[in-house]
Amino acid sequence: MKIRGIVVKFGLIIMLLFLSILIPFAILIDRIFLNVYSLHVNENVNELADKLEIAVSHSMKNEPEFYEYLSAITDEEIVVFNEKGVIISNHVFEFHTGTSIPKEWLKTMQKGEEFERERFDPITFEKYFFVGQPIMVSDEFKGGVLVFSSIDEIHQKMHAVRDWIIISIFAAIILALGYAIFLAKRLSKPLLKMETATREIARGNLSTKVQINSNDEIGSLASAINDLSIELNNYRTNRSELLANISHELRTPISYLKGYAQVIKDGQYKDEEELKVYSGIIEKESERLAKLIEELFELSKMEEGIINLYVQSIEVEEVIESALQKVELKAKKKNISLLYETEKGISSILTDGLRLEQILLNLLENAINYTEKGSISVETKKCKSGICITVEDTGLGIPEVDIPFIFDRFHRVEKSRSRHMGGTGLGLAIVFELVKQLEGTITVESELGKGSKFQLTLPDELQKKSYKNKN
């Protein structure tokens, strides 16, 4: 039923478009034929009037046989009158011999001017086109000729033309109907295939693909459906991986908590010192579990775009120095030097200072975790698109195969090492989402064994309006 519906709709649309062009075109052709034929008749009547003027000027006597002969050979109605406007011969309805033509006509022709008129015959109910032609002899008005031609005869002859036009229209409609049905089926076929494909995708068959056979809008729609299928498949895969990762990340601290809590409960420890160690492990794993849950919740809000930004004019240098102070102790414990260099003339920017500091803290802590001794340098400079902040370390570096996935959730370069260092695998994912919220970009360059460099670019001022100004 739906197939018929879409075919009928397409067919009707095509037919309406065709008829909207064909019918006005047919009317236009009819008008053109009528005008051309009428013009041709008018020209013939005028030409005939000119010739009759010459013929009659040589015989202005009252000779009915002569005028009847002229009317017969010309197949037109003729009225001849003298210089006073008195009809000396007629062959037309109410114009009788001995009567006078209207004074208006006579005055016009006495000036040597011809005229054209239309006249309705109340007896025959016919409409006539006629021409008044003066007869001039040596520039002296001697009378005139009225030549009448029936307009109805023109219309009668046009009926034959119209009949052919109507026949042509019906033939064209039949051909157009066939073409419309063919075209409607051709256009609806890929749409119906797309409907089938989208229903399959809705059922969960994400391997479904639509064949692309054209480069037009329909082909673009098919490509979009295929892209949707790929994205949904990626989403399903990512969701499964996310659930697996969350389960795995939760399992480790929970197993520690459960195991050491059981040890303490059963009194399976030698002395108070060992009890403190077990209690410390429970505390550490509890903190890690709380941090994981907090970061998951925060990342979820960021991805949904529901976090609030408190925007104010900030000094970038102050934010960076604050972040460096907070990680200074942790860096000293690993004998890591913290270096900071800023370009002169760096002005303040309009952004969320707390979120910027959060980004820097995550980058710095990540650098500290993966650096043994060595150094971490932070550089600030003015760039074309705003402010550029670079965080570079001399740590382990990132394998080239891992760089494209470094900002993915739960992605770890060295999984066992990362977990041992206390990372949740969400730090860089949070950084990436926060940078997007601040309308910036972040890139990473790294060489295994030599270190990594993260470059953050932020605009001088946020453009979006979905933030709160902080006073």
Query: Could you read off the pLDDT tens digit of each residue along the chain, which spans 471 residues?
Result: 444 566 677 667 777 777 787 778 777 777 776 677 667 666 665 666 666 666 655 555 545 555 555 555 455 677 888 888 888 776 666 677 788 888 888 888 888 888 878 777 777 777 777 778 887 777 788 788 887 777 776 667 667 777 777 787 788 778 877 777 777 777 777 877 888 888 888 888 878 887 777 777 777 888 888 888 888 887 777 677 667 767 766 776 788 788 888 888 888 878 888 888 888 888 877 877 887 777 677 777 776 766 778 888 999 999 999 999 989 988 998 999 999 998 887 878 899 888 899 899 989 988 998 888 889 999 999 988 889 999 999 988 888 888 888 888 777 666 545 455 555 677 788 889 889 889 999 999 998 888 999 999 999 887 655 455 554
Place of tokens 């025959």: 124
On whether the CB atoms of residues 179 and 190 are closer than 8 A, the answer is: no
Pairing of strands 468-469, 310-314: parallel
Distance CA 380, CA 390 (A): 7
384: buried, middle or exposed (CB in 10 Å: 19+, 13-18, 0-12)? exposed
Determine the 3-state secondary structure of 228 from DSSP: helix
Cβ-Cβ contacts under 8 Å for 235 (sequence gap 6 or more): none
Cβ-Cβ contacts under 8 Å for 59 (sequence gap 6 or more): 66
Distance CA 386, CA 281 (A): 45
Any idea which fold 2-156 has?
Beta-Lactamase (3.30.450)
Determine the 3-state secondary structure of 167 from DSSP: helix
Any idea which fold 217-299 has?
Helix Hairpins (1.10.287)
Per domain, the residue ranges of the chain are 2-156, 217-299, 310-469
278's tokens: 């077990």
Q: Give pLDDT, residue 393.
A: 93
On whether the CB atoms of residues 18 and 170 are closer than 8 A, the answer is: no
342: buried, middle or exposed (CB in 10 Å: 19+, 13-18, 0-12)? middle
Distance CA 102, CA 93 (A): 15
Q: Select from 393, 379, 276, 272 the least CA-distant residue to 320.
A: 379
Any idea which fold 310-469 has?
Heat Shock Protein 90 (3.30.565)
Q: Identify the sign of the CA torsion 400, 333, 292, 355.
A: negative
Q: Give pLDDT, residue 76.
A: 63
Place of tokens 């064909």: 22
Distance CA 187, CA 194 (A): 12
In 10 A of CB 347, how many CB atoms? Answer: 10
Distance CA 168, CA 162 (A): 10
